[in-house]
Amino acid sequence: MTVHFNYTVDITHYPLNRQMLLQRSERLLQLLHLEAAEVSIVLMGDAEMTGYNELYRKKKGPTNVLSFPARQTDDGFVIPEAELGDVLISVDTAKREAVEQGHTLHRRLLELIIHGLLHLTGYDHERSEEEALRMWDFEKELFQHLQTSRSANMPYLAINVDHVATIRQARGGVEPDPVFAASLCELAGADGIVVHLREDRRHIQDRDVRILRQTIKTKLNLEMAVCPEIIDIALEIVPDMVTLVPEKRKELTTEGGLDILGNDKKVRKAIEKMAKAGIPVSIFIDPDASQIQAALDAGATFVELHTGRYCDARTIAEQEQEFHLIEQSAELAYESGLRVNAGHGLDYRNAGPIADLAFIEELSIGHAVISRAVLVGLDQAVREMLAIVRPA
C-alpha cells in the first residue's frame, strides 16, 4: 500500500500536518481493502488545476478535485494492476471551501481525497441519483472511520519541579534543591523537566535555571511570561524549549491560558527572538479554536492545552464537556501542524484519560507529583505517574 504525495505548489505556509494527511490516506486504502494498491495524490494551485479542468472536462476555471484512473490508457501502455491512478487537488480551492464551511484545511483535503479515491475505484455521482447517494453515504462513513481510528498514544511525561523550590523559599535557605529533584525525576524515568522562572522569583531562582541547563540530561522546558527580562535570560541560557504563559502577581498558580489575540505583537516578537536562537516555543492556551489559530499565526511550534478546567470540574457532565474540548482542540491543533502538549492540575486520578488522547505529545505535571513525593518519595511518585501516562 503506497500513497505518493506530490506538491506542485509550496504548501509549507498552509496550516497542515502533512504526515497526518499521509497516514490517513494510507488508512483509507486499508478501509477500502486496497492494501496492495498504489495511488498518487498531487496537491496543486488553482492555475494548474484550471489547465487540467479545461483540457479534460472542457470546463472553465479551477475545480477542487479530479481523478484519473490508471486503467484508462489509450496508447497500449500496460499499467501494473496495483496502480489505482492519480487524484489531483487544488489546495487553493480546498482552502476557500474549508473557510466557507468553517472547517480546517486538513478536513477539507481529507474529504476531497476520499471523493477522489472513490472515483478511482469506480464510484460515480453523475450517472444516477441512486449511485450519487451511495457514493455520498460511503464518503461520510469513511470520513467517520478516519476520525475515530486512532493509533494508541504514549505521551512523554515532563515533571515541573517548581514546588520543590517553593518549599526551599519558605525558609529562604538552600534545601530542598530543585536541581537535585530534577535529577531524581530523570533517574525515575521522567522525559523532561519544567521550571517556571516567575518575574517575582517566588520559587525558581535564576541560579536554578542556570545549573539545570548544565545538569539536565533529558529536556529543559522553561515556562515564562512574555516579559523582556525573562526573555533575555532565556536567550542566554537556551533551554530546549520555552512555554509562554500568562503571569499575575497575585495568583497562586497560572490561572488560565495566555490570550494570544490580546498580546499578539508581544508574542510574535518573542517567538521571532527565540527562533533566531533556535529555541522552539510553546504557548499555554485554553482549549479554544481561536487561540489555536492565533498560535499558528504567531509562529509557535507547540501549544500546551490548559487542562485546569477539566481537572477542577465539579460534576461528571462538566468534566466530560471539558474533556471533549481538550480532545477536539488537540486534534485541531495537530492537524493544523502544531505539536501538542497538555497540563495543569493533572493528578493520579485525572491524568489517565488525557494521556490516552491521541495527538498529545507530552504532559507537564508538577503539584500532584511533588505532593505525593512528600509522602512516598520522589522516585516512587514519578514512577507511579509514569505508569499512568505510559502504562507498560
Q: How many residues bind ligand PXP (CB under 6 A)?
A: 19
Check if 344 is active-site.
Answer: yes
Check if 196 is active-site.
Answer: yes
Tell whether residue 345 is a contact of ligand PXP (CB under 6 A): yes
Sequential DSSP letters for 198-263: -TT-SS--HHHHHHHHHH-SS-EEEEE-S-HHHHHHHHHH--SEEEE----TT-SS--S---TGGG
Tell whether residue 364 is a contact of ligand PXP (CB under 6 A): yes
CB 291 within 8 A of CB 328: no
Task: Decide whether 39 or 161 has the Cβ nearer to ligand PXP.
Answer: 161
- Asked if omega into 80 is within 30° of 0 (cis), the reply is no
Query: d(Cα 326, Cα 336) in Å, to the nearest integer?
Result: 15
Query: d(Cα 257, Cα 223) in Å, to the nearest integer?
Result: 13
Place of cell 521522567: 190
Query: d(Cα 13, Cα 120) in Å, to the nearest integer?
Result: 29
Tell whether residue 343 is a contact of ligand PXP (CB under 6 A): yes
Please choose, out of 134-142, 164-172, 262-270, 359-367, the segment that lies near ligand PXP by the rule CB under 6 A.
Answer: 359-367
Tell whether residue 304 is a contact of ligand PXP (CB under 6 A): yes
E-assigned strand segments in 45-90: 65-69, 83-90
Task: Decide whether 21 or 346 has the Cβ nearer to ligand PXP.
Answer: 346
Tell whether residue 25 is a contact of ligand PXP (CB under 6 A): no
Tell whether residue 327 is a contact of ligand PXP (CB under 6 A): no
Tell whether residue 300 is a contact of ligand PXP (CB under 6 A): no
Tell whether residue 367 is a contact of ligand PXP (CB under 6 A): yes
For residues 241 to 270, the per-residue mask of contacts with ligand PXP, x marking binding by CB under 6 A and - elsewhere, is: --x-x-------xx----------------
CB 177 within 8 A of CB 164: yes
| Sign of the dihedral defined by the CA atoms of residues 350, 355, 360, 365, in that order | positive
Output the smallest distance, CB 109 to ligand PXP, in A: 32
Output the smallest distance, CB 15 to ligand PXP, in A: 23
Q: Which of 111, 186, 203, 223 is catalytic?
A: 223
Tell whether residue 223 is a contact of ligand PXP (CB under 6 A): yes
Return the residues of window 132-171 that contact ligand PXP according to CB under 6 A: 160, 162
Query: d(Cα 174, Cα 351) in Å, to the nearest integer?
Result: 32
Residue of 288, 294, 289 whose CA lies nearest to 309: 288
What is the set of active-site residues? 196, 223, 344
The contact set with ligand PXP (CB under 6 A) reads 160, 162, 196, 223, 243, 245, 253-254, 284, 304, 343-346, 364-368
